[in-house]
Amino acid sequence: MNNVKELNKWANAHTYFTLDLLRIALGVFLFVKGVKFITNIQYLVELISPIDRIGGGMFLVHYITPAHMIGGILIAFGLLTRWAIIAQLPILFGAILVNFMGKMHSDNLFLALATLAVCLFFLVYGSGKNSADYYFKMSK
């Protein structure tokens, strides 16, 4: 717990507006992906079809869409950012795995790797100074 507080202090001292814009863009991107999946369930089912042989396909459909939508909103506002990103990590690792188990889509693989890298960055960095987390912490 002490390490997280130290990371937050460092991140708040070294905050940049461009990083806040990147966090907001990540949240909007994840939300839009969630909306895309919910409006076209068949597309999502086709994407996860290589993993469906393992089982739990319907669980994945019902986990991915809300996790992207709710997590995207939380990340964009900077509210519970680390928890929202932790919920995204299994989805992103699965997105990378799907490319190696099924037909390789280099665009999807690059997008999943880039999103994973940005998520891992914000998992360590936190939500920054221009976020709801910082606002609620300072209003105490």
Whole-number average pLDDT of the chain: 84
Instruction: Single out the residue of 3, 10, 136, 13 nearest to residue 74, CA to CA.
Output: 136
Q: What is the pTM of this model?
A: 0.82
Give the pLDDT confidence of 32-70 residue by residue, as tens digits.
999 998 998 888 888 777 776 666 667 788 888 999 999
In the numeric block, the tokens 């709710």 are attached to 70
Give the pLDDT confidence of 14-29 residue by residue, as tens digits.
667 888 899 999 999 9
- Structure confidence at residue 54 (pLDDT): 65
